[in-house]
Structure 1
Amino acid sequence: MIRDKSSANGSADAGLERVAIIGSGNWGSAIARIAASNAKANPRQFHPEIIMWTHEEDFEGRPLTEVINSTHENPRYLPHVNIGENVRAEKDLGKAVANATALIFVTPHQFLEATLEELSGKIRDGVRAVTLIKGVKVEGSDMTTFASVISSRLNIPCSALCGANIAQEVAMDLFSESTLGIPTSSSGDLESLPEVKLWKTLFQTPKFRIRVVADVEGVCLGGGLKNIISLAAGFIDGLGWGANAKAAIMRTGFMELHDFCLEFFPSTTSSTFLQESCGFGDIIASCIGGRNRKVAEAMVKTGKNISELEDTLLDGQKLQGALTARDIHNFLHARRDSVKRPGGYPLFEAVWNICYNNMEPEKLIDNL
């Protein structure tokens, strides 16, 4: 157990895990609500206060952090949901992590690098992390999961939590499940590992069930790549092509995701995608609901581009599926001479072409 700085004074807080959440969007706020409740329910393991690093912005004439701390709601990203009186929004990243022993990363993936740069030298020894960020980092022909990025940049172990988790539904205590990927080579009892005990105690509830796998990369990849598939499903909805077409797109997309991960990340396992919530479960949920499907449908029906719809439907937030589709396209282009899958990954490429190359959505199925 990591010892709190206050242990030298014999404080009752000595030895308790202290949690900081890096990010305060809808998913960050929803998971803060769960963590806050579980921290209070486990006073011998966790300090009750959950610090949520919040990008300061104006909300109806007041700083957002002030609004969150006075109302215990995040009206900007998760309105009408009490996230807990023991959640404290903090605009200063250094202050947010100063005493933290457990870091939860849930920022938009395009901001992660700058966040990690700012965190350098500011976290304590022995800190553990978990990422809820969906997407991948691509540099030329190299691709890295965000769990690996966090682990290597901060020199700390990083797990991953991902699944069929629509933030609003989780915040409403509707039943859902998620997958926790743990960085271990152990083939024994995963439930006995310290990382599992930490994160399951912090996240699991009767309505938010967690299964554990020793496949961090698979959990990260499933959560990122499924957003491309949900865009394709949204195009189908916008075209009005019906349930049969949508089912075909979901099946095709799942096979591309499965084969892509096994081809380029050989440490991943089929069972992660076939049996866990971070795999096919997340695809189903995202293709039925979720913002990527919603925006893709609107693209077809309105003729507006992604930037316009981000402003009107997402309040200026970036569409993660489109960014991931671009990253995957760039990666496949860089690897074009070594792709082993027969026919390549035509659905992933079609989604990129529709989002960034003005391809007509009706051509989505042409090369499948």
Structure 2
Amino acid sequence: MKRVVVMGAGSWGTALAILLNKNGNKVTLWCFSEEEKKVIEKTRENLSFLPGVLIPNDIEITSDFVEALFNKDIVVIAIPSKFVRDNMENFAPYINSKQIIVNASKGLENDTLLTMSQVISEVVPHCLVSTLSGPSHAEEVAKDIPTACVISSKSKKVAEIVQDTFMTPKFRVYTNPDLIGVELGGALKNVIALAAGIVDGLGFGDNTKAALMTRGMVEITRLGVAMGADFQTFNGLSGIGDLIVTCTSMHSRNRRAGILIGQGKSLEEALKEVKMVVEGVNSATAAYKLSKKYNVEMPIIQEIYKVLFEGKSPKEAVVDLMMRDKKIEHQKEEIHWNHYVSWEKE
């Protein structure tokens, strides 16, 4: 049994607290506000973010982060990515080097272009940091619906400790040493999911979405490899696995926001209607900047950036993607033509 605190009582933080509690750990759930804490304590339910799911009575609820962090073995960070640095700076004086930090936030920092584990490591360099990622909608994890995820860390020992802490008969956890790849997959699939939602909102079909998801994963992989990731990571749970679920499920707030934009609503209107943090919006800017920094071709990312922040029509963005210069599907394919076909001489 581990003493675990989950910092952040959104849908994902609440679901992880319930999961960890079911797995026999002593769990504390930290809320941003005293008001939020009182509501959850009274109702034993997260009415704002995860309604209909009972929060066990033996999960301690607190809004005092000093109290929350005290004497814990594992600290789970389940805070929206744009708030991670500020909160970690508040937490840092109360986190010691023996505590393992598990980042459960999927995003990139717009100003620095860092992943969340890199942000956390900057603020608390004395701690070992890991990241949890994969196809894991909070609504399903909280209800014990089976899935599989991946934990990554620079330390094999840390990854295995976290794997043991989280793994249940309904929540299978793999380890992967490719921390940058795991985090990029988790962050960038949200941007592609926005695009997938826009495709749905425009009334296009399954063929369109399949093409978008496939080429979207090519772009994610292309950038990841340029940044030092292992391309095989993107074929795994934090890559194609997370991409599939986020682009196809109505649990996905990124897809829901995209649908509204595709139907003609502004970004502001879509975010207001979804009522929760849409990480793909935050990550789109960082993804666009990273494509420029590493000189990586990412046309889908470029178009979604223009739709979100430059007022480009979604229909126009689709036309521009479809009418790009003719390409070979795989960049290295040209040199292999002779292995597969023979050209007719005219």
Distance 2:38 2:303 in 1: 44
| Aligned equivalent of 1:349 | 302
Distance 1:198 1:74 in 2: 28
The counterpart of 1:198, out of the listed 161, 173, 195, is 161
AA at the equivalent of 2:80: P
| 1:154 and 2:113 aligned | no
TM-score, normalization by structure 1: 0.82
Distance 1:124 1:96 in 2: 13
| Aligned equivalent of 1:91 | 63
The counterpart of 2:233, out of the listed 268, 272, 278, is 272
| Aligned equivalent of 1:244 | 207
Distance 2:153 2:290 in 1: 26
- CA contact under 8 A between 2:135 and 2:238: conserved in structure 1? yes
Distance 2:42 2:61 in 1: 10
| Aligned equivalent of 2:85 | 113
- CA contact under 8 A between 2:2 and 2:165: conserved in structure 1? no
Distance 1:214 1:103 in 2: 20
The counterpart of 2:152, out of the listed 172, 175, 181, is 181
Distance 2:11 2:158 in 1: 25
| Aligned equivalent of 1:28 | 13
Distance 1:299 1:144 in 2: 27
| Aligned equivalent of 2:51 | 79
Distance 2:37 2:43 in 1: 10
| Aligned equivalent of 2:279 | 320
Distance 2:85 2:181 in 1: 21
| Aligned equivalent of 1:187 | none
TM-score, normalization by structure 2: 0.87
Supply the RMSD in Å over aligned alpha carbons. Answer: 1.6
Q: Deviations over 1:284-332 (max 9, x none)?
A: 101101111111111222x222222222222xx3321011112222344
AA at the equivalent of 2:152: G
SS of the residue corresponding to residue 135 of structure 2 reads coil
AA at the equivalent of 2:18: R
Cα shift at 1:138: 3.7
The counterpart of 1:291, out of the listed 244, 248, 253, is 253
The counterpart of 1:227, out of the listed 172, 186, 190, is 190
Q: Deviations over 1:79-132 (max 9, x none)?
A: 111132221221111221122221101100111111011012111231111101
Q: Deviations over 1:118-176 (max 9, x none)?
A: 0121112311111011111243xx53211122123112111111001111011121121
Q: For structure 1, list consecutive stretches of 5 or more residues without a partner in the other structure.
A: 1-15, 41-45, 58-62, 185-192
Distance 2:316 2:270 in 1: 21
AA at the equivalent of 1:214: P
| Aligned equivalent of 1:9 | none
| 1:17 and 2:30 aligned | no
- CA contact under 8 A between 1:101 and 1:124: conserved in structure 2? no
Distance 1:106 1:229 in 2: 22
AA at the equivalent of 1:295: A
